[in-house]
Amino acid sequence: MKLSELKIGKGGIIKEFTDLSLSIKLMEMGCLPGEPVVLERIAPLGDPIAIKVSGYQLSLRKDEASKVILIPHS
C-alpha cells in the first residue's frame, strides 16, 4: 500500500521507498523503514498531505507520498 492511499486517521509502517533520491530526503526527516506513520490531514484540493511520523507532523506532496510503500496496520 502507498502512503498516498491512506485515509485520514489510518496508518501503517514504512516498508520501503521507490525513489532513491527522495528516500534520502525522507529518511533525513525521520521517515525510516520500520517507522509508524499516521495520515492526519489532507489539503482541501487533495495535495499536500500531513502525516505524523517520529513524533512530529510532516507535510508531503501527494506525488512524494506515492513513492512510500507501507505495511498497513489497524
- Whole-number CA gyration radius for the chain: 11
Per the CB < 8 A criterion, the answer to whether 17 and 73 are in contact is no
Give pLDDT, residue 73: 78
Strand partners, 57: 52
pLDDT tens digits, 12-40: 999 999 999 999 999 999 899 999 999 99
pLDDT > 80? residue 65: yes
| Edge-to-edge strand list for the sheet holding 68-73 | 56-60, 49-53, 36-42, 11-17, 68-73
Q: Which residues contact 9 (CB under 8 A, 6 or more apart)?
A: 38, 39, 40
Stretch 57-64: mean pLDDT: 96
pLDDT at residue 74, as a whole number:
60
